[in-house]
Amino acid sequence: MECNQVYKEAKDLTYVEFPTKFVWKPKLNIWKPRERGYSIGRIHSVSPKFGEAYFFRVLLNKVKGPKSFEEIHTVNGEMCPSFRDACYALGLLDDDKEYIEAIKKASQSGSGLSLNEDQIKNLSLFEIEQILLRNNSSLKDYTRTPFPDVDYVSSSNNRLITEELNNKGGVFFVYSYGETGKTYLWKTLSVAVRCNAQIVFNLASSGIASLLLIGGMTTHSRFIIPLVLTEVSVCSISLDSELASLLHKTSLIIWDEEPMIHKHAFEALDRTLKDILKRHNPRNSNLPFGGKVIVFRGDFRQILPVIPGSSRQDIVNASLSSSYL
C-alpha cells in the first residue's frame, strides 16, 4: 500500500501482480521497481470457513492500486462495512452463471433418476456434507442449515447390492460417461456395505480418480499388481499375509476407471484371489475373482490401455472387453 502511494505504475496492479513489476527488498522492507527479469506472484490459499480473511484474499486478486485497507473494500466511492459486502457489491460472489451452464450441460448428456423433492434435497445435503467433512467442517456447524437424513441414504442404496453380498459373489460393470453420478454411486455403495460392519475396497486405476473415493487407493498399490504384465502374471500377495487375510474378509471391491488398464492386470488379480480364497472354500477356485463381489466402472470412449507402437487391434485386444473375464 505504501508502494502504491509512491509509484504511479503500481496503481494498475493487483497484489498478486506486484512481483511482475516490483522486487521486494527484505532488508529495507520496501518494494522497488523491477529492473530485469520476470516473476509470477501468488497468494496463500485461504479456506472459506475463515470468513473475512477469505473475502479479503478474493479482493486482493481483483482490486488494483489500493493505498489503504479501507480502499480495498471501497466500491464506487462508498466504503462497504466488510470485505464480504465488498465482494457482493463487485459481483464476485452472486454470479451463478458458471453453475447454471454446468447443470444445463449435464442435463443434456447425463442420465437422470426419478426422485421426489425431498429425496433430491436430502441427497444434495448429503453431498454437501461430504465436501465439508473433507475440509474439517460440517453442516452441523451452521445452525440454520438442515442436515441430511443418513438413514435414508443408507437404506435406499442398500437394496442395490444386498443380495450379492450373501456369499453369492458377482462381477458387475457400470458403463457410464461423465456427469452421471458415478462418484455418488460409489460413495453410497460404500456406506450401504460399511453400515453393516463389512469391508469395502475403494480403488481406482489412477491416483487422481482414487482421491474422489472414500479411503481410495490405486489398484496397483493395493493389490501389488506387477508393472510388467504377462498372460500368467499374479499379484505379489503372500497367502499367509495380512493383506490376504483382509481380502478374505472383504465384502465388496470397487474398481473405478477400469478401461485404461491392461486386461492382464485383471486376470492377475483373478488368479490371485482364486488362490487365496480357495483355501477357505475349494469351490472359490471356479468362481471369477474367487467369488468376491467386484464392481467395475468405466467409459470405453475415454482412455484405453496405452501400448507404445501398437495398432488399434492391439489396443482393443488389451482391454478388458477382450479378456476371458
Cβ neighbours of 141 (radius 10 Å): 10
* C-alpha span between 125 and 148 (Å, rounded): 5
* C-alpha span between 85 and 55 (Å, rounded): 9
* C-alpha span between 144 and 139 (Å, rounded): 9
Question: Given the C-alpha cell 483373478, which residue does it identify?
Answer: 270
Using CA of residue 83, residue 88, residue 91, residue 94, what is the dihedral sign? positive
* C-alpha span between 311 and 317 (Å, rounded): 10
Compute the mean pLDDT over every residue in the chain, rounded to the nearest whole number.
Answer: 80
pLDDT recorded at residue 163: 47
* C-alpha span between 296 and 197 (Å, rounded): 22
Q: pTM of whole model > 0.85?
A: no
φ, ψ for residue 200 (rounded to 5)? -125, 135
pLDDT recorded at residue 270: 92
From the list 292, 277, 110, the residue with the least C-alpha distance to 201 is 292
pLDDT recorded at residue 210: 74
pLDDT recorded at residue 271: 92
Read off the pLDDT of residues 252-303 as tens digits, 9 standing for 90 and up.
Answer: 898 888 888 889 999 999 999 999 988 888 888 888 888 888 888 877 777 7
Domain locations in the chain? 2-89, 97-110+122-148, 154-322
Locate the DSSP E strands across 144-272: 170-175, 199-204, 217-218, 250-256
CATH number of 154-322: 3.40.50.300
Read off the pLDDT of residues 80-103 as tens digits, 9 standing for 90 and up.
Answer: 999 988 888 888 776 665 466 666
- CB-facing half-sphere around the CA of 265: CA atoms within 13 A: 24
Most confident of 166-180, 198-212, 266-280: 266-280
Compute the average pLDDT of residues 239-247.
Answer: 89
From the list 176, 180, 184, 185, the residue with the least C-alpha distance to 107 is 180
Distances (CA, A) of 179 to 104, 163, 185, 232: 11, 28, 12, 37
Q: Is the pLDDT of residue 161 over 60?
A: no
pLDDT recorded at residue 65: 86
Compute the average pLDDT of residues 141-153.
Answer: 66
